[in-house]
Amino acid sequence: MAHFYFFENDKRCNFVNKILQSQFYKYISDNESSVGSDVRYYINLEWNNVNGKGIDVSFLDKNKIRYVKSIGELPQGAGLYISAYDADQEEISKVKAMGIPLIEKVCPWILALKKQILKVSHTHQCIIMLDREHMVFNNYRSIFPENTIILNEENYKSQLKKVKEGLPVHFIVYSTFRHKDASEVIQYIEENYYSKDNIYWTKGICGWVSKSGIFEEIKNSIVNRSLDEVWIICSNENNRSVKSLIKEVRDNGAKARIIKDTDDVPLKLDKRLKIGVLIAPIPFSRENSIIKKIKEINNIE
């Protein structure tokens, strides 16, 4: 029988937990614990999910959370619940002008990112470490300064060739990149695009990355427990938080295996394997059933 280790610090961020407990089920759910209101609020999927990345639709369905696929589907008299990823800045201006009721509960790290983007001066080259296929890219692209460079840890060298000669840079990092990835980009900028006026903003890297302890636990567990593989339970391997987890696993010498459904759990394993199991931070409808199957197949209490 393979040996399993279940991670202890693979918890959701405090903000997501708080919102799930105090907001989602009260205001945008049709379950029995929701509160009465003259306005029925909905999540807009266009602002929260891109090609399956972001909010897990099956999680919304399982918990009877109301959503629309676009603003055009919003019922007459209904309101919008603006969740962690914020909203398309051009659309939300129109929504507010129309007087549509709003509940705004945006992640504070994303609000900090927005504030920093709006601070960029025309005297600087704006560089944002963010995936182009991310919800926040779509929601905030209308407020990006002209000629903003978007990059990540894989393409930064080619993207930085677009830096305008003579302009110092204003470098901004999205919340769920690892510190080591941001530091690598900063070092490259310092070596190739140095200016005493360069600005580096990494305070937006969120508490899930810097305070949860999951990245330290991945490193320590792979080394101290000699883990061969780490199974990451998630709805989509292309979510930025999951990408960061995958990189941490691989950087420390183990294989990352993505588990998105019970069918992804191998029925037969080399009994010599040592496997870590962790749950990605974005709420996922099948995580409990996957954990249950892993334990049943391997006779784990």
Rounded Cα distance between 186 and 66, Å, is: 42
Alpha helices in the chain (DSSP H): 14-19, 25-27, 57-62, 89-97, 108-119, 135-140, 156-159, 179-192, 207-210, 214-224, 240-251, 287-297
Strand partners, 279: 233
**pTM for the model:** 0.92
Q: Note the pLDDT tens digit of each residue in 233-287.
A: 999 999 999 999 999 999 999 999 999 999 999 988 888 999 999 999 988 889 9
Average pLDDT over residues 136-157: 97
pLDDT confidence of residue 38? 80
Domains of the chain, start order: 3-10+209-297 (3.40.1010.20), 14-106 (3.40.50), 109-205 (3.40.1010.20)
Diameter of the chain measured on Cα atoms = 63
pLDDT, average across residues 133-152: 97
Say what the pLDDT of residue 36 is.
53
Residue 21: pLDDT over 80: no
d(CA 211, CA 216) in angstroms, rounded, equals: 10
